[in-house]
Amino acid sequence: MKLAVSVKAITLSAAISATLCFVPHAQAQQADATIPDAPRELRAAWITTVYNGNWPSKPGLPVAQQQQELIAILDKAKAVNLNAVVFQVRPGGDAMYDSKLEPWSEYLTGRQGQAPQPYYDPLSFAVEEAHKRGMQLHAWFNPYRAATRLSGAFTDNHVSKTMPEATVKLDKLMWLDPGSKRAQDHSIAVIMDVVRRYDIDGVQFDDYFYPYSSEVAKVGMDSLDDGSWKQYQAAGGPMSRDDWRRENVNTLMRRVYESIKQTKPRVYFGISPFGIWRPGYPAGIAGLDAYNSLYADARKWLQEGWLDYCSPQLYWELSKPAQSYPKLLAWWVEQNAKGRHIWPGISITGVGSEKTPTDDVLARLDLTRKQPGATGVIYFSSLPLLKDQGQIATRLKQTAYATPALVPPSPWLDNTAPAALVANVVRDVATGSMALQWAVPQEADAFLVTIYARVNNAWQFDIVPAATQGYKFASTGAVPDMVAVSVVDRMGNESPKQSVSLRGDTSISIPAPVTAPALPGSR
C-alpha cells in the first residue's frame, strides 16, 4: 500500500485497542473540498483454471500448495495495484468449488468428482483472500463447454450423464447444445447457485458461445444443435438457422442478467466477447466474424443493457492495422447506448517478446485511458504478472499503476453513497508517528476506506479494506498536516470525505514499530 510518508494498513482489531489510546473525534467534519479525488479505473486480471493455465499449476497438488499458489497470485495483483481478479470457476461442466449441481473439477484434484483433501472450498477461499486485499472477485463461467475431453471417466452428475440428449461430442470437446432449453436452464441454475451462496462481486462469460470453427472442423457445426433445430422447425419456428442460433444465445444472456438482478442486484454481469463484432465494423477491420460463426451478437447485448460491463478481447498488438486497437476500442464505446462499463481485454501472454514488446502493452493501456468511455482493462492473464514476464509487473507499478485506484461507480445498479466514516488518531510518544483507527458499523456497506493525506502541500492517498480497522503512518518521512478519510462500498460509491483531527493522545506509546514501503505521490 502506498502513501508518500511510508504507510501500511494494519489489522488493529482488539489488539490495538489494548496498546493504542485513541482520541474520540466528537463530530465528523467534512473535509476541504480541494482534496483531489482518487483515480478511478478497473485494473483486473483473469485467473485461468482450465488446463491448469494459471492455477493450480498442476492437478492434484496438496491443499496447502494450492492455497499458497493462489495467495501468490493475489499478492502480486495487489502489489501491482490491481483492484479485481476474474477467477475461472466452471472450466467445462465442472466446478472449482463445492457444488451439488456439477462435479469437482479434475483440474483441481486430478480426478473429476473428487473433493480436496483436507477439504476446503477454493472459491470461498479466493473470495475471502481477494477481499482481504481490497480487491473484487468476479466468477468466470463457461456456459456451454461441457468437457475438455471426450474419453475417460465422467461422474454420474456430469452433464454427459444427466442430459446426454443435450451434450454433443465435437472434435476434442464436449458442448452443451445452445438450442436446448434444458441445457440453458441447467447453466443458469449453476450460475445462480454461486450468486446465492458466495460473496462474489461479479459473474463473467468469455468468448465461448458456439465453438470456434476449428473445434468443429471434423463433425461440422450443424452436429451441435441438430436435435433442437429439428424440434424448432417441427413446431413451426419462423427464423433462419443462423438467426435462431443467435436468438438462443441472446435469450441466455438476458435470462442470466435478469436472474442476477432479481437475486443480488449489486453483482455485476460482464461479458468478454471476441474483439471483432463483424469484419468491417469499423471500416478497415478484418478478422473472424463472431456474429456469424460464434453466433454472438455482443453489440445487441450492450445496446439492450443485458450486462454491466463489456470486455472485448482486443488482444492484437498495435502493429496490426486490420485489428486496430484504438479503432476497435472506439467502436465498442460508440455501441454503448446504456452507458455500461467498457473494460477491454489486453493479452500479455507473450509480453516481453519481439512480437509483443512490453512498451506495446503499456501503449495500449495509455490509449485506453485516453479513450472517453473506457474506464479500465483486464489482462489475460495473471501468470505473466506473477512471473513479471518482460518486466510487465515492474513497469506497471513504476508508471501507470504507481498508486492505487478505486473501481468506477455503477450508478444504474446503485448510486447511494455509504455513510461517512469517523476515524480517530493515535500517536507514538517516542517518535510522534501516527495511526488511524476506525470502527465500521455492522449495518454499513463498507468495503474500502480511502485515506487522503496532505504532505508538503501535496495530496496523496491510499486505499485499504474497511475491515482492517486501522492504518499506520510510519515514523520516517514528512508528517501529514491534514488527513481525511472516506468509505467506499462494493459498487464504488464513495462517502463524503471527513477530516480527522491530528490531535492524538501521546501518553501511551506504540510498543512495536510497523514498517512499510514509501508511497509515491499521486498521479
Q: How confident is the model over 333-390, as pLDDT tens digits?
A: 999 999 999 999 999 999 999 999 999 999 999 999 999 999 999 999 999 999 999 9
CB-neighbour burial class of residue 94 (10 A; exposed 0-12, middle 13-18, buried 19+): buried
**Residue 395 CB contacts under 8 Å (≥ 6 apart), including other chains:** 358, 362
**Residue 149 CB contacts under 8 Å (≥ 6 apart), including other chains:** 172, 173, 174
Task: Please choose, from the candidates 326, 63, 66, 86, the residue with its C-alpha nearest in 3D space to the C-alpha of residue 203.
Answer: 86
**pLDDT mean over 91-106:** 98
3-state secondary structure 205-260: ECCCCCCCHHHHCCCCCHHHHHHHHHHHHHCCCCCCHHHHHHHHHHHHHHHHHHHH
Instruction: Provide the 10 A C-beta neighbour count for residue 485.
Output: 24
Question: Per-residue confidence at 218, pLDDT binned at 50, 70, 90?
Answer: very high
**pLDDT mean over 118-141:** 98
For 22-42, what is each residue's pLDDT tens digit?
333 334 466 666 899 999 999
Query: Which of these ranges, 4-8, 130-134, 293-297, 368-372, has the smallest mean pLDDT?
Result: 4-8
Average pLDDT of the chain? 89
Cell of 428: 507514538
Instruction: Provide the 10 A C-beta neighbour count for residue 521.
Output: 15
Block residue for cell numbers 513497469: 395
413 in helix, strand or coil? coil
For 219-246, what is each residue's pLDDT tens digit?
999 999 999 999 999 999 999 999 999 9
Task: Please choose, from the candidates 41, 45, 9, the residue with its C-alpha nearest in 3D space to the C-alpha of residue 134.
Answer: 9
pTM: 0.91
Task: Please choose, from the candidates 502, 484, 364, the residue with its C-alpha nearest in 3D space to the C-alpha of residue 38.
Answer: 484
Q: Which residue has the higher pLDDT, 157 or 478?
A: 157
**pLDDT mean over 160-186:** 97
Write the DSSP symbol of residue 26. Answer: S
3-state secondary structure 322-342: HHCHHHHHHHHHHCCCCCCEE
pLDDT at 251 over 60: yes
The pLDDT value given to residue 503? 64
**pLDDT mean over 322-331:** 98
Run of H or E residues at 9: strand 7-9
Cross-strand pairs, 202: 138, 268
- What is the C-alpha to C-alpha distance for residues 406 and 494, in angstroms, rounded to an integer? 9
Instruction: Provide the 10 A C-beta neighbour count for residue 120.
Output: 15
- What is the C-alpha to C-alpha distance for residues 203 and 182, in angstroms, rounded to an integer? 21
For 488-521, what is each residue's pLDDT tens digit?
999 999 999 988 877 655 433 333 333 333 333 3
- What is the C-alpha to C-alpha distance for residues 183 and 18, in angstroms, rounded to an integer? 57
For 61-88, what is each residue's pLDDT tens digit?
999 999 999 999 999 999 999 999 999 9
Run of H or E residues at 63: helix 63-79
Cα three-residue angle 104-108-113, rounded to 5 degrees:
25
Query: Which of these ranges, 141-150, 445-454, 502-511, has the smallest mean pLDDT?
Result: 502-511
